[in-house]
Structure 1
């Protein structure tokens, strides 16, 4: 009889162990069900940017690029085709994508030529405390990469307001943010700020500065992976329609009509492209509006914005290009 009871007890234990009952709450190591707070904390364990995976980025694919498209660049294809990096290969911005030009009053300036983009910003998230202070150590979050529908180098910022005790990098994706909002762990605050975060492959180089600040070495979260980016404008103000503001530029093409042969330039390599505003000025934006070009025959006369405007040539179809001014302005 005793043996039968022992056998029955052992059989019952095995049955329960192999076939757990459904719909029971999670049980901690102590055997006590987790509280909702404990379960919430379990779901918000921090991610480590140093050990997380890194996204693969291709800024020269057909799905994103225009001027520097690998399969057929619109800008100076004879020369550009030779230097376009392979998918996810590091980009050397200083070696291949730096343009010397002129400022509105004849200043000598340089800018990085990134590519054609829209004035419809993507969405980016930054983290702040309930007092509005940035959360130290938390990476911003993006939800799109170059080539994905809706991606833009320009991101309209939504602030993620976290409560006291939040551990940086507990949230590492847009989905995490939305789930935390639904759970009441964070609140969201839309802003009219737009930041220029150009997502690039890991290892990309950009030694110039923007408004005196380094532009490389930054990271964001993208679906739990790290996304390296170049940081330029950080506080553009969205237009009343929610668009990225732009600023005019006048360019002169080598063939006098289109970018097929690149820009006309001096022997030194400096173009007579002229930008209308400089970083630090109220109307400045790195999103340059090309609505007309300068006449090739007037190249030598162009010294500043006034002479560039007087040298007006053919209209252009309101092309928008991300070209942040970098380095010293002379």
Structure 2
């Protein structure tokens, strides 16, 4: 139900509202058209936004506002193993916090999503408090509310409308317009969606292989992942660890990274707590059991957003 309501607010078509009188024009804010409104500048690879994926003069990561093709291979997609040793693939959206950011969805008093209204956020990559993971908040508007007259947090707070916080957390990375990430599990929607940010339009993906529950603490759940790098992490060597890339089988993209849960598991989360094992043990690791027997060099070194999009 949450998925259907959430997707219902991602409609991009928009009909301009015509006021019936001069008095209405004076008292109602003008609706904005998402198709013609200004677009926010988005850069996932700036020093402020990125952690493992920060643009340099040589690594070729896209510039600000340049579309990102997450289907283009490393470093954006990784092939690893499931707990039982089957092949899985997952996108890499870099380090994210366990503290979700708020996203606001608009509903009428009968609980129906407001037609044509797009969702509202108040932070984008590079802003303090940004997260790919969003806590869903329901905004209950009046019967005469006109879609897309609220397009900023300032508008929302000034409106006085009731805001109902939920424990539902969704994975929706904000990306530049035109970005692509076509892989999903099953029949999930793989389109890019529009939202409001400070009266500007932003674009984001949605990954619904698992709807998360933040519980009373409002924290993004974690699940373990076991990885190995071409050069074992060494604080004295900046080229070690993530900078050296994952170890893979010769001539292929097959890593021996092992995830500890699958989307059908109750404890699955696309926010993975990273455990690093010695690359000398690469050949013996091919499932969760063998990963547990490897020499673990470090645990919980980062929390990374890597939604699973293929399972063998």
Q: Shorter-chain TM-score: what band?
A: 0.7 to 0.9
Q: Counterpart of 1:236?
A: 212
Q: Counterpart of 2:286?
A: 303
Q: Contact 2:136 / 2:167 at 8 angstroms: preserved in 1?
A: yes
Count matched residues: 281
Shift of 1:280: 3.2
Structure 1 unaligned segments of length 5 or more: list them.
Answer: 1-27, 73-80
Shift of 1:146: 0.6
Q: Counterpart of 1:223?
A: 198
Partners of 1:280 and 1:164 in 2: how far apart?
39
Shift of 1:38: 6.7
Out of 172, 189, 195, the position equivalent to 2:164 is 189
1:263 aligns with 2:242: no
Q: Counterpart of 1:201?
A: 176
Partners of 1:212 and 1:265 in 2: how far apart?
30
SS in 2 for 1:306: helix
1:324 aligns with 2:307: yes
* CA separation of 1:211 and 1:141: change in aligned 2, threshold 3 A: farther
- Scaled by the length of structure 2, the TM-score of the pair is 0.84
The structure having more radius of gyration, on CA atoms, is 1
Q: Contact 1:61 / 1:71 at 8 angstroms: preserved in 2?
A: no
* CA separation of 1:239 and 1:311: change in aligned 2, threshold 3 A: farther
Partners of 1:117 and 1:47 in 2: how far apart?
31
Shift of 1:114: 1.0
Q: CA offsets, 1:194-248, max 9 Å, x none?
A: 1111111111111111453133321111111110011114731114322111111
1:151 aligns with 2:151: no
Shift of 1:59: 0.5
Shift of 1:39: 4.4
Partners of 2:96 and 2:179 in 1: how far apart?
20
* CA separation of 1:144 and 1:129: change in aligned 2, threshold 3 A: same
RMSD, aligned α-carbons: 1.9
Q: Counterpart of 1:7?
A: none
Q: CA offsets, 1:251-284, max 9 Å, x none?
A: 0111233223111111321101011112232211
Partners of 2:264 and 2:282 in 1: how far apart?
28
Q: Counterpart of 1:77?
A: none
Partners of 1:84 and 1:38 in 2: how far apart?
46
